[in-house]
Amino acid sequence: MNRASLEQELLRSHQRTKELAERDNLTGLANRYYFDESLCHEIKKQQRDKSKLALLLIDLDYFKFVNDNYGHDIGDQLLIAVTKRITSCLRGSELFARLGGDEFAITLTNLESAFGASTVAKRIIESLQKPFEIGHHVITSGASIGISLCPSDSTDVKELFKYADIAMYRSKSDGRNQFCFFEAKMQETFLENFLIENQLRSALTNDEFYLLYQPVISPLNGKI
């Protein structure tokens, strides 16, 4: 093998290795590593340009039900089909990634206002309304979307993810198949619920619960 051929083979090998490191094997989308790196870059660029950026976290509703009832092969095919539908809602300039499992993320850049993010979120939710035909199965799959904004919510990658995640769980708790923007009061509610859950777990472990009976009194004669 001559020098030129060797260099071309090394280049192809490097490109294959780079793609494996940055791409999700199933969907071909960017993976979590590449998305995080790109988001850091976009935040720095946004700060220079004084523009707005939105992070959308997307979680499929009832995906575990699909895996448990139809098998992981059908679940994988559903993820591929969902990827195609969501991609059709985008212009092509956005960064679209699969973070793992049934969780996806999109970065929207150069926004004039939050309206641009809500428009994309609406298109995604509407695109998933039509049932998917996979094999012999007809599967309905919606999505819950949480949105955080830079710089109004944060300019830190970890905080933007945390806030979008909190907003996404609010979407789920409010009925699923919808989107929600992060608000500061959500974090207070999230932390309060987290503390209550921890206290309940501790109380169960330490056998701290006790039973109280509330009397039922007749309004007719006042007797119990």
Phi first, then psi: give them for residue 123, nearest 5 degrees: -60, -40
Which member of 102, 156, 165, 207 is catalytic?
102
Known catalytic membership, residue 102: yes
**What does the block give as tokens for 140?**
């309905």
d(CA 43, CA 103): 21
Q: Are 163 and 191 in contact (CB under 8 A)?
A: no
Element of type H or E holding 146: strand 143-150
Q: Which helix (H) or strand (E) holds 122?
A: helix 115-127
Angle at 163 between CA 161 and CA 168, to 5 degrees: 90
Q: Which amino acid type is present at position 192?
A: E
Q: Is the peptide bond before 131 cis (omega within 30 degrees of 0)?
A: no
CA dihedral (121, 125, 126, 128) in degrees, to 10, reads 140
Question: Residue-wise over 76-92: b if at least 16 C-beta within 10 A, else e?
Answer: ebbbebbbebbeebeee
Contact 58, 83 (CB under 8 A): no
Instruction: List, by residue number, the catalytic residues.
Output: 102
